């Protein structure tokens, strides 16, 4: 990752990423269609928590997958606001990372 990020900013973002991963795990619910559960799991495991990728790529790809999930007509209605909240948090963190 870019050495320009201060340790405080980075550890704050890392802890927020862990919180987001926990929130996205709520989509692993039998009420949620399998394709959405799978996409959510991929977003977390392949992107959000993948420390081998640059932070901006991790956040951006996770946000992009969430956008697809949010726009899936089969997403149970009560998960829509959850997706929007997580997307907003990812966008905020992406802005912080890109400013550093």
Sign of the dihedral defined by the CA atoms of residues 67, 71, 76, 77, in that order? positive
Assigned token pair, 8: 């405080």
> Does the pLDDT value for residue 54 go beyond 80?
yes
Residue numbers of the domain that contains 74: 7-99
Assigned token pair, 80: 């829509």
Per the structure, how many domains does the chain have? 1
Task: With respect to residue 1, please indicate whether it lies within any of the assigned structural domains.
Answer: no
Average confidence (pLDDT) over 61-74: 96
Residue 11 sits in a domain of what CATH number?
1.20.1440.50
Structure confidence by residue, pLDDT tens digits, 35-49: 999 999 999 999 999
What integer pLDDT is reported at residue 2 of this predicted model? 45
């Amino acid at each position: 990752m870019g050495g320009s990020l201060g340790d405080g900013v980075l550890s704050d973002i890392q802890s927020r990423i862990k919180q987001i991963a926990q929130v996205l795990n709520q989509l692993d619910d039998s009420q949620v269609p399998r394709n959405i559960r799978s996409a959510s799991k991929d977003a977390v495991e392949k992107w959000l928590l993948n420390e081998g990728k640059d932070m901006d790529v991790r956040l951006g790809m996770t946000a992009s997958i969430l956008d697809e999930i949010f726009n899936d007509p089969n997403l149970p209605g009560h998960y829509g606001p959850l997706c929007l909240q997580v997307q907003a948090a990812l966008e905020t963190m992406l802005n912080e990372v890109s400013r550093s």
